[in-house]
Amino acid sequence: MLVDRLGSGYKERFSLFNEQEGLDDGPDFLSEEDRGSTLPNFKQNEFSVVRQHEEFIWLHDSFVENEEYAGYIIPPAPPKPDFDASREKLQKLGEGEGSMTKEEFTKMKQELEAEYLAIFKKTVAMHEVFLCRVAAHPVLRKDLNFHVFLEYNQDLSVRGKNKKEKLEDFFKNVVKSADGVLVAGVKDVDDFFEHEKTFLLEYHNRVKDASAKSDRMIRSHKSAADDINRIASTLYTLGTQDSTDLCKFFLKVSELFEKTRKIEARVAADEDLKLADLLKYYLRESQAAKDLLYRRGRALVDYENANKALDKARAKNKDVLQAETTQQVCCQKFEKISESAKQELIDFKTRRVAAFRKNLVELAELELKHAKGNLQLLHSCLGVLKGDT
């Protein structure tokens, strides 16, 4: 996995490799990254470290918690790899081992391995995207934690959050979303932000919906491909056991199905990669953008409150100085956020359009490629069947 990303004149290269200790140990996600960098603040030009998913999360959280970055869209953290489904299937495979034929077993095992590999690649890609986003960000890439993350060649000894912290997070989220509703209700003075706010709210919901729907679509596509696979193998057994003249015919059709199901599975996988993952990423990214707007909205509300407090203080002529400083701090904070947020949102849009363009073009091309491959197979098979039957 190589990705070239450029940040103003610097060229950085990440590559993530994933090591997995066999299917049986259960997935333990590790990523190793290589980084070739000419960034001045790195001590070496090439280095690599091994990082776990939790460490990525830690990095992300450190960005979120940093007040300095309040005005930026924090790159969304990569999702936790989901190997549950595969694990479940693996278990089923183990249980069913006795009851199926050897061919079926090998076939299922291959299927499972392929699926596993696909999830793996996907997970890696998502983690990579996160790092690339950070590295491409003019401010975040200079973050100290980021550098530690990339350079420190030992375990970061990041621990997962314990229960108490998780509970705190939960309450924070509840408060935040309740607050979010309050803040969202405030009419923004700036048309740009007002527009962005309504857009993002709607967009986020829609992209969430589309993402869920695409997942379902792809899942059924995969099941269909699996069915074709099984049909192919049954046809194969029919072809080998049948003593009539039909057997050649069955074998031929089985061969065809075996190939088409591969293509069909590829179609599903590519749709997953190009479409579903894109949508999923923008689901998270739009959430991050929404968070940015929330922070700005919060700052705005704070600022307005500070203004009101100042007015009150002035009217009562009491604690005026303190109110003034608060008001000033709030004002500064708000203005700082607004300033960077505007650029961030514009960037977000550019990035989004570019990403959609890239993926949709690729999707269409892949769909075409697969359909043409399928067509080719069907043509030649039909030619054979019509010719020699």
Partner 1 sequence: MAASSERSPPPFPDSEEPELLEDSDEGADAFTGTSISEMDSPSPDSTRPPKDIFNEPPEDIFSDPLSNINSEPQKKVDAKIPSPSSDEAVDLFSDPLDDDSEVMSSPEVQNPMPDLLNEPVEAPKSDVLGEPPVSSVKKAASSEMFGDDDDDEDLFKEPPKVVTKKPQPSGPPVDVFTEVKSDVKVKPQVKDDPTDLFAEEALTAPAPKPSAGSSSSRTNGVHSEEQDLFSEATVELSLDSPRNDRKNKDAVKPSVSAPAAPVASSSSKAPSKTLKELEEEESEDKFDLNISITNPEKVGDGMNAYMAYKVSTQTSLTMFRSKTFTVRRRFSDFLGLFEKLSEKHSQNGYLIPPPPEKSILGMTKVKVGKEDPSSAEFVERRRAALERYLQRVVSHPSLLQDPDVREFLEKEELPRAVSTQALSGAGFLKMLNKATDAVSKMTIKMNEQDVWFDEKIQDVENEEQHLRKLHVMVESLVNHRKELSGNTAVFAKSVAMLGSSEDNTALSRALSQLAEVEDRIEQLHQEQASNDFFTFSELLADYIRLLGAVRGCFDQRMKAWQRWQDAENMLQKKREAEAKLLWANKPDKLQQAKDEITEWEAKVTQYEREFERISATVRKEVIRFDKEKARDFNRQVIKYLESLLHSQQQLIKYWDAFLPEAKAIV
d(CA 287, CA 204): 7
Instruction: Work out whether 209 is an interface residue with partner 1 (CB under 8 A).
Output: yes
Q: Which helix (H) or strand (E) holds 99?
A: none
Span between the terminal Cα atoms of the chain, in Å: 48
Instruction: Work out whether 210 is an interface residue with partner 1 (CB under 8 A).
Output: yes
Residue with tokens 């300095």: 68
Instruction: Work out whether 46 is an interface residue with partner 1 (CB under 8 A).
Output: no
Inter-residue contact 222 to 268 (CB < 8 Å): yes
Number of amino acids touching partner 1 (CB under 8 A): 59
Instruction: Work out whether 23 is an interface residue with partner 1 (CB under 8 A).
Output: no
Instruction: Work out whether 85 is an interface residue with partner 1 (CB under 8 A).
Output: no
Give residue 288's Cα distance to chain centre.
13
Among 49, 126, 253, 289, binds partner 1 (CB under 8 A): 253
Instruction: Compute the chain's Rg from CA coordinates.
Output: 27
Q: What is the DSSP letter of 142?
A: G
312-324 burial: b if 16+ Cβ within 10 Å, else e: ebeeeeeeeeebe
Amino acid at 231: I
Instruction: Work out whether 256 is an interface residue with partner 1 (CB under 8 A).
Output: yes
Q: What are the beta bridge partners of residue 231?
A: none
Instruction: Work out whether 237 is an interface residue with partner 1 (CB under 8 A).
Output: yes
Residue with tokens 């706010």: 197
Instruction: Work out whether 380 is an interface residue with partner 1 (CB under 8 A).
Output: no
Instruction: Work out whether 172 is an interface residue with partner 1 (CB under 8 A).
Output: no
Instruction: Work out whether 92 is an interface residue with partner 1 (CB under 8 A).
Output: no
Among 64, 93, 112, 238, binds partner 1 (CB under 8 A): 238
d(CA 91, CA 84): 10
Instruction: Work out whether 223 is an interface residue with partner 1 (CB under 8 A).
Output: yes
Give 167 or 246: the residue with its C-beta nearer to partner 1: 246
d(CA 309, CA 324): 9
Give 224 or 320: the residue with its C-beta nearer to partner 1: 224
CB atoms within 10 A of CB 195: 12
Instruction: Work out whether 62 is an interface residue with partner 1 (CB under 8 A).
Output: no
Among 10, 42, 105, 356, binds partner 1 (CB under 8 A): 356
Residue from 13, 33, 32, 273 nearest 136 by CA:
13
Give 72 or 348: the residue with its C-beta nearer to partner 1: 348
Give 39 or 224: the residue with its C-beta nearer to partner 1: 224
* Residue 69 C-beta: closest distance to partner 1, Å: 25
* Token pair in block for residue 234: 């049954």
Query: Interface with partner 1 by CB under 8 A: which residues?
Result: 199, 202-203, 206-207, 209-210, 213-214, 216-217, 219-221, 223-224, 227-228, 230-231, 234-235, 237-238, 241-246, 249, 253, 256, 260, 349, 352-353, 356-357, 360-361, 363-365, 367-368, 371-372, 374-375, 378-379, 381-382, 385-389
